[in-house]
Amino acid sequence: MLSRAANAIYWMNRYLERADNVARFINVNLHLMLDLSVETASQWMPLVVTTGGEKYFREHYGDNAATQENVLQFLIYDKNNPNSIASCVRSARENARSVRQSISSEMWETVNKMHLSFRQASADQTHQDAPYDFLEEIKNSGHLFIGLTESTMSNNEAWHWARLGRLLERADQTSRIVDVKYYFVLPTIEYVGMPYDNLHWAALLKSATAFEMYRKRYRRIAPKSVAEFLLLDREFPRSIHYCLVHAEHSLHAITGSPLGTFQNPVEQRLGRLRSDFDFARIEEIIDFGLHEYLDNFQSRLIQVGETIYDDFFAVEPPSQSPTQSQSQSLLPATGEAASQGVSPP
């Protein structure tokens, strides 16, 4: 398919997945804050860090400004924050607009309605105190969009680009939330007994909509098991391992080369990354250092993204001077977000 269209579909899905994750982080944190009621201010900063906007936030809101009000403004409405829900929805819609012919009308209308109701919500300040309904709406629209992708779109190349974008983004988001929560919740992995400890772990799982499935699998909440579930589970659709396996399926469906082989740098990089997760054990990861492991994972995932761009989207004929395309301009926002990944403790 058209490179520009593939690029736009890929990014449209990344942005929608990102908006969904940000909405979920906020929702869970709002509930958690109600339970904790003390030392609350410090508990909003992890969200800023998770979404990769720490530097921008400190510059524009101040060093000790991580109040609920500021962080909600920053994560929901701030149009200059490339990872705010506002920016993600807008970018998703711009991308959707440029590939109207490749996606179904129902998918387009869902993204368009999201954009329109978001605009209305930002104009109408009533949401800002208790944005639960509004965040719920963002999440539901995201789910509706994925459902429509499944039920109205052929499983063709465009569909695989959509899934590839969604799963790579989801793997990235899951790794961020685990990394940050570990850092804030648990200074050392052996540390147990902190007040409200269970609440924190439950919140972490809920951020990834993983709480119920986790309970079915492990029942008892233990830090190591939580990390294992979110990183290595083969069945849970938001675990990093699951995302990588299915992203790789889509990649190979696009290229046509057999799984387990590679014919281009993307297949090599993604395949190698996935196989690391295939054979990893959580004890090894913790011995190595969970943060270091996730940091390394994120850099490799960014490389996969860059290679996708080089191999598929930046197709130039041999004798042609490079031309600027609209969708290329969408890259820096994400590139920036990626490079602002979680900094080491």
- Compute the CA torsion angle 35, 73, 328, 110 (nearest 10 deg): 70
Q: How far is CA 288 from CA 270, 280, 285, 293, 339, in A?
A: 21, 11, 5, 7, 23
Q: Please name the amino acid found at residue 296.
A: N
Site for another protein in 133-152 (CB under 8 A): none
Q: Which is nearer to another protein, 192 or 315 (CB)?
A: 315
- The DSSP output letter for 330 is G
CB 53 within 8 A of CB 340: yes
Alpha carbons within 13 angstroms on the beta-carbon side of residue 228 total 14
Which residue among 113, 139, 224, 291 contacts another protein (CB under 8 A)? 113
Could you say which DSSP state residue 76 is in? I
Beta carbon nearer to another protein, 5 or 240: 5
108 or 159: CB nearest another protein = 108
Distance CA 233, CA 296 (A): 19
Instruction: Check residue 258 and report its DSSP letter.
Output: P
Q: Which of 69, 109, 212, 284 binds another protein (CB under 8 A)?
A: 109
CB 180 within 8 A of CB 49: yes
Per rule CB under 8 A, is residue 112 in the interface with another protein?
yes
Q: Are 285 and 227 in contact (CB under 8 A)?
A: yes
Per-residue x/- mask for another protein, residues 215 to 254, rule CB under 8 A? ---------------------------------------x
Cα dihedral: 70, 76, 79, 83 (round 10): 110
In 102-137, which positions are buried (b, 16+ CB within 10 angstroms) versus exposed (e)? bbeeebbebbeebbeebeebbeeeebeeebeebbeb
Does the protein bind another protein through residue 207 (CB under 8 A)? Answer: no
Site for another protein in 309-338 (CB under 8 A): 312-313, 315-317, 319-320, 323-326
- Residue of 98, 175, 239, 334 interacting with another protein (CB under 8 A): 98
| CB of 242 vs another protein, minimal distance in Å | 25
Which of 61, 108, 145, 293 is the binder for another protein (CB under 8 A)?
108
Q: How far is the CB of 315 from another protein (least distance, A)?
A: 4
94 binds another protein, rule: CB under 8 A: yes
Q: Under a CB-based contact definition with an 8 Å cutoff, are residues 20 and 139 in contact? A: yes
- If the CB atoms of residues 126 and 319 are measured against another protein, the closer one turns out to be 319
Greatest Cα pair distance, the chain, in angstroms, is 65
Point out which span in 43-51, 63-71, 92-100, 218-226 binds another protein (CB under 8 A).
92-100
Cβ closer to another protein: 183 or 313?
313
> From the CB of 12, what's the least distance to another protein, in Å?
13
- Closer Cβ to another protein, 99 or 270, answer by number: 99
Q: Which two tokens stand for residue 13?
A: 């899905």
Minimum separation from the CB atom of position 51 to another protein (A): 22
Residues that bind another protein (CB under 8 A): 1-6, 94, 97-101, 105, 108-109, 112-113, 116, 119, 157, 161, 254, 312-313, 315-317, 319-320, 323-326
